Structures are given as structure tokens and as C-alpha cells.
Amino acid sequence: MLTYAQLATVHHTLADKRVLSVYLDGSVADPAMQRSWRVELDHCLSDLRRWLEDSSHAEREEFERCAQRLAAAIADLGGGVGAPGWAAFITADRIHDAHQLPAVTPTLAVWSTGPCVAPYVRALKEHRPVVVALVDARQASIYRYRLGTLEHVDVVRAHQGIDAPQHMGTPSRQGFHTGTRGRAGHDAAQRSLLHGRERMIAEAAERIRHVAGKEGWILVGGIKRVAAMLAQLLETSSPGRVAQVESFDVHATAADVTQVARSGASSLRDRLDEWRIAELLDRAGAHGLAVVGPADARLALQQSSVRDLFITRRYLEDHAAEADAAIRAALDQDAFVEEVSGRAAELLNEHGGMAAGLRFRAAPAELVAAER
């Protein structure tokens, strides 16, 4: 699938071209119903043809060439989508992108100037990698989960050298056993073990930071005491992206790791979304660099003052055209766009389902109208 930057590039590249944007819902589990999207897609294309009846002959021909390319792409899918979703952006001369998506999308086809990108925003949340670390006192096993695939990345081990304790500072005589000074030997071994564990945790944290990058979620499990130390170290450099999963032990299978990656990342996303929306609502209430509600968000987009645009699934579904226009406007000004979920979506839906963080305070609507 596309990254956020790649989706923005597609938007900019095709902004002035007629584009057939297609999304398929591949989430149906029942084999008998897996091709239901084909029926829905046929209905969508028929609706578009009726809508284009009064358009120019050239535009109708352009649409049909896109539809033919779509038919060829769908033929390549074989028995089904093979993923929760699927997307394609097609112009008369070629298919610009056609690929599976890790998130469910509604089946729809849109004919417009520029691509329809609003349904794609939902899938972008799945693009962030999830790094999972299972640790004990001796090693840290590091996994990366991304786009439905789990990969075992690395193992960081604790290395410590424990020398046999010496008797009174001189080599031991034949027949002398190291247990004669057992307490000192035990203390030395413990210090060496602790040093090796601390070094392993530091090395594991550095490796995890590298694998996670600037956006990845980080989940830590295993021996609770060691996992807590690693999570605390990671939280200092990756605030809001780290969680310790206490029920997650070192004997977890690959299936267990995958499940934890999915559920843990979702919890972290929801927690971060809730914090961001709560902060944005506070700023908007104090007339700071934020606005809440579709009307004020659209005004800020018109003035190119938006830094972050937040939107809910309800708004995307109930106001599809307005949502797509808002997202395209945000991409035009290089703003970050995200669909929020969980408690954050509940908070935002109470204010219309859309809000924006601002680069600068937008001018009042009355002033903008007066200048026109």
C-alpha cells in the first residue's frame, strides 16, 4: 500500500486529471459471499454511466477506457480480493496504483477530477510498524508487525564474563575449590549478571528505536521486571508510543505475538488519539491554534492554515463528498490527516466529526466574506 507521502504524491500528480477511483471490500469471510463486491461494483459503475449520460462524448469515452482497465485489474484478482480492502486509481492512459489494503474499505467507484482519497485514510493507520519485544534477563527477541506480516528481526543477548574468584589475591592451590570464598564469588557473579542485563536492555532499546523509526508503536512483554525497565527506557525517547503488556510472557508463539501486535497497537492508537483530540479541544476553547467543527475546519482549510486535520469515520460515511474535499485541501497544504477512533471519535463526533490543528489562527468568517 501507499505511505502517506506517496498518497499525497498521487493526489498532486492526478489533481487535474479525470480519475476513476475504486475501492473494494474484501472483508467478507463467507466463501459464498466473497464476490458480493463484484455486484456492488457493477451497480456503482452503472450509476456512473447514468450520471455521465449528459456529459460530452469525449468524457464518456474516457470513462469507458478507465472501466476497461479496471476490468483487467479485477481479472487479476482471481477468486477474491485476498485482503480486507483494495484500491485503484485509474486514468484513461494507465492504472496508476492497484493494490490490496490492510483495512476494510467500502465497495465504491468514484469518477472525479483528481483521485478520491478519503477512504484510503482509514488504511493509513495500519501502515505504522508495530515493534514487539519479548525480554528476560538473558535476551530480548525483537519482532516487527507491518501490513499483516510478522517478522522476527533480531535477538539481543546479555554477555557477561564471570572469572573464578581468587583465594587471597593469588592463584588457588591444587585441591582448593572456589567455594571457599563463596559469598564474594556470588556477589561478583551477581554484579556481572546485572551489568550484562543492563547492557542488554540498553542495546535492545537502541535496536528497537531503529526498527520502530519515528512513528512505530512499541510493545514490551516477558519477565515483568525486565520488561518494565526496557519500557521505561524507551518511553523517554518515544513518548506515547510505548506500552508494557503484562500478560505477554516469553513463551509466546508467533500467533500470540501477532495478536498482541494488533490489539496493542490499536490501544496505543486510541490512547494517543484521545490525548490529541482532548488537547485540541482545549486549545480551540481557549481560542488557540485549533478549530473544532466542519465549518471552522473548512474555513481554516480555505486559508491554508491547517497543520493537522482530524476526522471521524461517521463524518467520512455521512458526508463523503465534503470529507474528500477537506482531505484533498489538507493534502494541498501538506497537512497531516488522520481518521480517529475509539474515545477520540466519540469526543469529536460531539462537535461534528472534524477538527484541525493550525499553523496560524484563521481569519473570522465574517472578515473573509467582507473581503470578497
Cα separation, 106 vs 85, whole angstroms: 8
Close Cβ partners of 139 (under 8 Å, ≥ 6 residues apart): 155, 156, 157, 158, 200
pLDDT computed for residue 187 by the predictor: 61
Condensed to tens digits (0 to 9), the pLDDT of residues 276-301 reads: 999 999 999 998 999 999 999 999 99
- What percentage of residues in the chain have a pLDDT greater than 90? 64
For residue 351, the model assigns a pLDDT of 95
Residues (pLDDT < 70) of the chain are 29-35, 79, 160-194, 362, 364-372
Max CA separation in the chain (angstroms) = 104
Query: Are 121 and 337 in contact, with CB atoms under 8 Å apart?
Result: yes
Q: What is the pTM of this model?
A: 0.77
For helices 182-212 and 224-237, the axis angle rounded to 10 degrees is: 40
- Alpha helix positions (H), the chain: 4-13, 36-51, 57-75, 118-124, 182-212, 224-237, 254-285, 294-302, 313-318, 320-332, 342-349, 365-371
Task: Give the neighbor-by-neighbor strand order of the sheet with 149-157.
Answer: 149-157, 139-146, 130-135, 217-222, 242-244
- Whether the CB-CB separation of 241 and 216 falls below 8 Å is answered with yes
**Distance separating alpha carbons of residues 77 and 163, to the nearest angstrom:** 63
Contact status, residue 108 vs residue 321, Cβ threshold 8 Å? no
Q: Which domains does the chain have, with CATH numbers?
A: 4-124 (3.30.960.10), 130-163+191-252 (3.30.420.60), 274-371 (3.30.1330.30)
DSSP string, 198-231: HHHHHHHHHHHHHHHTTT-EEEEEESHHHHHHHH
**C-alpha closest to that of 141 among 52, 253, 51, 236:** 253
180-189 tens-digit pLDDT? 455 555 565 5
Helix, strand or coil, per DSSP, at residue 310: strand
Position 28 scores a pLDDT of 73
Phi, psi of 111 (to 5 degrees): -110, 115
CA contacts within 13 A on the Cβ side of 237: 16
What is the Cβ-side half-sphere exposure of residue 49, based on CA atoms within 13 angstroms?
11
Residue type, 145: Y
Name residues whose C-beta falls within 8 Å of residue 350's C-beta, 6 or more positions apart in sequence. none
